[in-house]
Chain A
Amino acid sequence: MFEILKRTEMADGTVVLNEISAPLIAEKAKPGQFVILKANETGERIPLTMAETDPKKGTITIIYQVVGKSTALFKSLHVGERFQDVIGPLGQPTHIEKVGTVVCVGGGTGIAVMHPITRALKEIGNRVIAIIGARTKDLLILEDKMRAASTELHVCTDDGSYGHHGFVTDVLKEVLEKEDVKLAVGIGPVPMMKFVSKMTAEYKVRTLVSLNAIMVDGTGMCGCCRVSVGGKTQFACVDGPEFDAHEVDFDELTQRLEAYKEEEAAAQEKYRCECQAG
């Protein structure tokens, strides 16, 4: 179990796609749910929302940005090698309903998480306007898939190297101005979700965001992933990962994501040295 069947590097090697054999999870998983992966005996448990599942093949697909030691370790695994542990599906699935016009805003690897949600929202009969963005053209992922999954796709790059020159929120504003949007979904880096939320709040459009809090067990057992939503503490792993964006305390989430910044830097430095030595 948990053998890597396919491995693709994207966005200049900063993002990696793994298709993993996990039949039990593939059979159950729904858009918006996540798995926890552990590479080896000494590894850390890392939560990642699934980008794709194929119940027939018995596979799940994850797409992750290489940001620290654990994701660097994931990246080092080749086709035919295995993750030692994969647990899931975890979290509440996205509530997919027909509401009319929906706007899906994805940034960075959040686009990978957004893809199955976008597709499901369209399949149920919504008009889905997707807006995806990246820092620069080379870092943009899944453009073709997002085009196929949505009714209308807008692409933005911060540096103007491709598509609209600017942030996803610029395009979002235009869409909110001229369309009767009933629901917005924002998935990406926390600052992006925060600004998407701020903007949709101005237009009073219900908005969902998927929160990537730090987790350990992913089953509501430890409370590591607590987030403040509407002034109440919720666990991202079992109450989420999706929440009403207008109620989320993004500043607290930003701070909590920095909890192990020093340890992460030290671990990564050690890993880099070991890799060079080996």
Chain B
Amino acid sequence: MAEKGAKKEKIPRQPMPEQKPEVRRRNFDEVPFGLSAELAVKEAERCLQCKKPTCMQGCPVAIDIPAFIAHIQAGEFTKAIRKIWERNALPAVCGRVCPQEIQCEGLCVLGKKDAPVAIGNLERFVADHEREHGKGELPPKGKPSGKRVAVIGSGPSGLTVAGDLILKGHEVTVFEAFHKPGGVLVYGIPEFRLPKDIVYSEVNFLERLGAKLECNTVVGRTVSLDELFDQGFDAIFIGVGAGLPRFLNVPGENLIGIYSANEYLTRANLMKAYLFPEYDTPIAKGKDVAVFGAGNVAMDSARTAMRLGADRVRIVYRRSRDEMPARAAEIHHAEEEGIEFYFLTAPTRFLGNEKGRVKGMECLKMQLGEPDDSGRRRPVPIEGSKFKLECDLAVIAVGAGPNPLLIKSTDGLALNTRGYVIADPETGKTTKKGVWAGGDIVTGSATVILAMGAGRKASDSMHDYLTLGW
């Protein structure tokens, strides 16, 4: 055994083959190509199959990671995907967009001395392999319970709840306000990071399991939450995301060419404006682009602008590199593609031309002061540091708030002072009987996998309710 273990450690982490930066910065194809079966097995062999796997503690949906990797080691890819499906209905998505470095891979024991097992790449591999080569077999479903569940929003939390409860034998209908399902996976995350066909394939998997999907339904407008109960739904999950864009609230922000990241990405991703005029939705193609904010959404916006033909794309951030909330991998990818970073810079007003189009901004230089509520050092303006930056397109990616459309039109749903839905962190139960909530509408902007984790907790609690009572 000792010899075998020693041998395993010698295999280096298998790098993910990907498009070269100078090529990919001008196309919308997915950046990584995915592991081949051979590379996947080789990478899987690095896993020590720990008796007490720490990696699992880092997974918000508690996938049995060593078990699925063991199946890959044995070349049994279908068994591997079935193992993942027990805990996660969206593996092709999670394998691509989870921040593994702070979750499963961050806790992998190999990571102490060497690179951790590439758990995310392996998850992606088995999901892709199943989609491309699988027989379309479905996991077994529980006995029909006769209970009906409404899921509002088809983003990561909603799809998780739908997947869990359909497998437990409940009838599930998912309502989506947009004309296509997937929520932020479709409108927000760009094609080059998460191809939309993969999202639709995962949604199709849920539909094949029997989940019903109602697009073009704005709950709160087309139908109210209470009317869904009248229609005979027994339990409702609210997973509508944080769909209210934040702006900088500086003068000139309504000039043409200034987008919220939500609008910019929705045009590019959901509406496929990058294919204009084959697709009818237009998008402004800036040559000199400024993106405000430094989270994953800012990186997505900047990389999208580069792909739309910009000569220069700058991330403008009021703090410094150390405080950037984006994943390290996303920052790295952006830098490789030639995105520039302007740190410790805050815009104070936008400047426009005679046609009302943005042509630049006035900024102040900042320095870091004492830590604020978020624990990050607060940026403080340096007096007399005003300067001008030119740009012909600006994208504001400084976060999102709770969209009030549904939650304010629903009686009995308590909100916190920031306008988010109050839900029990362990169960997702809201203050309204029969209603659960999870994801960004409860926590504020977070990650896909945290929303899925919230969905998992809610679905467990909803199942208890549907079988035992509130």
A contact set with B: CB distance below 8 Å: 24-25, 28, 38, 42-45, 69-70, 73, 84-90, 216-217, 219-224, 226-228, 233, 238, 252, 255-256, 258-260, 263-264, 266-267, 270
Q: In the assembled complex, how far is the CB of residue B350 from the closest CB belonging to chain A, in whole angstroms?
A: 13
17 contacts between A and B (CB under 8 A): A24-B222, A24-B223, A25-B222, A44-B271, A84-B179, A86-B216, A219-B218, A220-B243, A222-B263, A223-B260, A223-B262, A224-B260, A258-B256, A259-B256, A264-B282, A267-B276, A267-B280
Asked whether B276 lies within 8 Å of A263 as measured between CB atoms, the reply is yes
B373 CB within 8 Å of chain A:
no
Q: In the assembled complex, how far is the CB of residue A214 from the closest CB belonging to chain B, in whole angstroms?
A: 10
CA distance in complex: A255, B177 (Å): 29
B284 CB within 8 Å of chain A:
yes
3 shortest interchain CB distances as A-B pairs: A255-B356, A263-B282, A222-B263
Q: In the assembled complex, how far is the CB of residue B337 from the closest CB belonging to chain A, in whole angstroms?
A: 25
Asked whether B218 lies within 8 Å of A88 as measured between CB atoms, the reply is yes
Asked whether B263 lies within 8 Å of A87 as measured between CB atoms, the reply is no
Asked whether A219 lies within 8 Å of B177 as measured between CB atoms, the reply is yes
B contact set with A: CB distance below 8 Å: 177-179, 215-218, 221-223, 243-245, 247, 253-254, 256-257, 259-260, 262-263, 266-267, 271-272, 276-282, 284, 355-356, 403-405
Asked whether B266 lies within 8 Å of A89 as measured between CB atoms, the reply is no
Asked whether A85 lies within 8 Å of B222 as measured between CB atoms, the reply is no
CA distance in complex: A252, B355 (Å): 10
CA distance in complex: A255, B403 (Å): 27
Q: Given A226-B254, A258-B256, verify A217-B178 contact (CB < 8 Å).
A: yes
Q: In the assembled complex, how far is the CB of residue A252 from the closest CB belonging to chain B, in whole angstroms?
A: 6
- CB-CB < 8 A to A85: which residues of B? 179, 215-216
Asked whether A42 lies within 8 Å of B279 as measured between CB atoms, the reply is yes
- CB-CB < 8 A to A73: which residues of B? 280
- CB-CB < 8 A to B260: which residues of A? 222-224
CA distance in complex: A226, B272 (Å): 22
Asked whether A223 lies within 8 Å of B245 as measured between CB atoms, the reply is yes
Asked whether B256 lies within 8 Å of A217 as measured between CB atoms, the reply is no
Q: In the assembled complex, how far is the CB of residue A91 from the closest CB belonging to chain B, in whole angstroms?
A: 9
Q: Given A28-B221, A45-B271, verify A233-B247 contact (CB < 8 Å).
A: yes
Find the residue from B177, B278, B282, B405 having the highest chain A CB count within 10 A. B282
CA distance in complex: A84, B280 (Å): 14
**Which B-chain residue is minimally distant from A38 (CB atoms)?**
B179
Q: Given A28-B221, A69-B280, A255-B356, verify A219-B403 contact (CB < 8 Å).
A: yes
- CB-CB < 8 A to B276: which residues of A? 263, 267
Q: In the assembled complex, how far is the CB of residue A240 from the closest CB belonging to chain B, in whole angstroms?
A: 14
Asked whether B282 lies within 8 Å of A28 as measured between CB atoms, the reply is no
CA distance in complex: A217, B271 (Å): 10
Q: In the assembled complex, how far is the CB of residue B241 from the closest CB belonging to chain A, in whole angstroms?
A: 9
Identify B404's interface contact among A84, A216, A220, CB under 8 A.
A220
- CB-CB < 8 A to B244: which residues of A? 220-221
Q: Given A84-B179, A221-B266, verify A267-B222 contact (CB < 8 Å).
A: no
- CB-CB < 8 A to A44: which residues of B? 271, 279-281
- CB-CB < 8 A to B405: which residues of A? 219-220, 238
Asked whether A256 lies within 8 Å of B281 as measured between CB atoms, the reply is no
CA distance in complex: A99, B221 (Å): 28
CA distance in complex: A84, B223 (Å): 20
Q: In the assembled complex, how far is the CB of residue B298 from the closest CB belonging to chain A, in whole angstroms?
A: 16
- CB-CB < 8 A to A252: which residues of B? 254, 356
- CB-CB < 8 A to A260: which residues of B? 282, 284
Asked whether B222 lies within 8 Å of A28 as measured between CB atoms, the reply is yes
Asked whether B253 lies within 8 Å of A233 as measured between CB atoms, the reply is yes
Asked whether A87 lies within 8 Å of B177 as measured between CB atoms, the reply is yes
Asked whether B262 lies within 8 Å of A222 as measured between CB atoms, the reply is yes
Asked whether A87 lies within 8 Å of B179 as measured between CB atoms, the reply is yes
Identify B266's interface contact among A216, A227, A256, CB under 8 A.
A216
A73-B280, A221-B266 are known; give 6 further A-B pairs, CB within 8 A: A90-B218, A217-B177, A228-B254, A259-B257, A264-B282, A267-B282
Find the residue from A24, A70, A217, A233 having the highest chain B CB count within 10 A. A217
CA distance in complex: A264, B284 (Å): 12
Find the residue from A87, A233, A252 having the highest chain B CB count within 10 A. A87
CA distance in complex: A193, B403 (Å): 30
**Which B-chain residue is minimally distant from A25 (CB atoms)?**
B222
- CB-CB < 8 A to B277: which residues of A? 263, 266-267, 270
Asked whether B254 lies within 8 Å of A224 as measured between CB atoms, the reply is no
Q: In the assembled complex, how far is the CB of residue A277 from the closest CB belonging to chain B, in whole angstroms?
A: 15
Asked whether B284 lies within 8 Å of A89 as measured between CB atoms, the reply is no
**Which B-chain residue is minimally distant from A215 (CB atoms)?**
B263
- CB-CB < 8 A to B245: which residues of A? 221-223
Find the residue from A38, A223, A256 having the highest chain B CB count within 10 A. A223
Q: Given A85-B215, A85-B216, verify A42-B355 contact (CB < 8 Å).
A: no
Q: In the assembled complex, how far is the CB of residue A69 from the closest CB belonging to chain B, in whole angstroms?
A: 6
CA distance in complex: A28, B218 (Å): 12
- CB-CB < 8 A to B263: which residues of A? 216, 222-224
Asked whether A87 lies within 8 Å of B216 as measured between CB atoms, the reply is yes
Asked whether A221 lies within 8 Å of B243 as measured between CB atoms, the reply is yes
CA distance in complex: A70, B216 (Å): 19
- CB-CB < 8 A to B177: which residues of A? 87, 217, 219
- CB-CB < 8 A to B218: which residues of A? 87-88, 90, 219
- CB-CB < 8 A to A256: which residues of B? 254, 256, 356
Q: In the assembled complex, how far is the CB of residue A32 from the closest CB belonging to chain B, in whole angstroms?
A: 13
CA distance in complex: A226, B282 (Å): 17
- CB-CB < 8 A to A88: which residues of B? 218, 221-222
Q: In the assembled complex, how far is the CB of residue A23 from the closest CB belonging to chain B, in whole angstroms?
A: 11
CA distance in complex: A183, B72 (Å): 72
**Which A-chain residue is minimally distant from B241 (CB atoms)?**
A221
- CB-CB < 8 A to A255: which residues of B? 256, 355-356
Identify A45's interface contact among B281, B284, B355, CB under 8 A.
B281
